[in-house]
Amino acid sequence: MNKIFPQGDGNAAAAGSKALPRRQGDMPQSFPGFLVAHCGDPTSWIYSDQKCDGINNCGDCSDELSPVTVCPPCGPGWWRCPSTVFKYCSCIPRSLCRDHVQHCSDWSDEYSCPGP
């Protein structure tokens, strides 16, 4: 039986994503196509499980916003805002609400969000 996933489960990809969230250029040809996704910038790519996880992995939020991906609205635990934090895109973790630090360009995380 052929082994499609030599690393086992997705742990290897998750560990790698922490070290280098955004890849440039050489998408590994050994990866099955469904494991990786291109960013809006075609020279950048991410692991598929980095789509719609709330984190700006592509650098231009194309992994969180259209047209590359269509993500569901912010889930529970997230606050929707036009975020100014590079790490996030259209949603921030509610743990960042009411922390006296502006994370939304409209300050809604500090004034509208009810808190974590």
CA distance 97 to 70: 25
Piece in contact with Ca ion (CB under 5 A), picked from 10-18, 28-36, 54-62, 67-75: 54-62
Piece in contact with Ca ion (CB under 5 A), picked from 14-22, 24-32, 46-54, 72-80: 46-54
Report, in Å, the least distance between residue 25 CB and Ca ion.
Answer: 19
Which among 66, 60, 59, 70 has a CA at the least distance from the CA of 22?
59
Write out the H or E segment, with its range, that includes residue 14.
helix 11-19
Question: Segment 82-111, which members bind Ca ion (CB under 5 A)?
Answer: 96, 99, 101, 103, 109
CA distance 51 to 49: 5
Binding site for Ca ion (CB under 5 A): 50, 53, 55, 57, 63, 96, 99, 101, 103, 109
